[in-house]
Amino acid sequence: MPQPHPSALTIVQKQDLRTHAMQAAQHSYSPYSKFRVGAALLLSDGNIVTGCNVENASYRLTCCAEQSAIARAVAEHGPSICLRAVAIANLNNSASMPCGACRQTLAEFGGDDTLILYPAEDGLAETTLGEILPAAFRAHYFVSQ
């Protein structure tokens, strides 16, 4: 019997991850854009870690929810974390797929099969990190052994 894909999640797991992302969005600091985003990471060890966007008057210093969650996961679980899935949510009822910088940040700790759950134009959607960042930059390609 074929084994489920390592990224495959049950409907309950997906709902739980999305709920965590929505709860994280409640803590967003977004006084400028009013675009409140939360992210929930499912680590390969089963832990869920959340983050939210934190804006700054100097917009370039703003931290996206996905990056906030990654920083928290590394701080709490160490630098060898591995992402199984990521859920993005926002309180604006808008489509919000991870931005390019977040895709690359997620690629540092996830693989092509990492599941990405996000709000799309026509409802909730899912894809994989490899589908939204097919040629991720990976430093190990260039580090000599």
Q: Which residues are catalytic?
A: 66
The sign of the CA dihedral 22, 133, 94, 33 is positive
Q: How far is 137 from 19, CA to CA, in rounded Å?
A: 31
Distance of CA 3 to the CA centre of its chain: 25
Residue 22: how many CB atoms within 10 A of its CB?
17
Helix intervals (H) in the chain: 11-25, 65-77, 100-109, 129-132
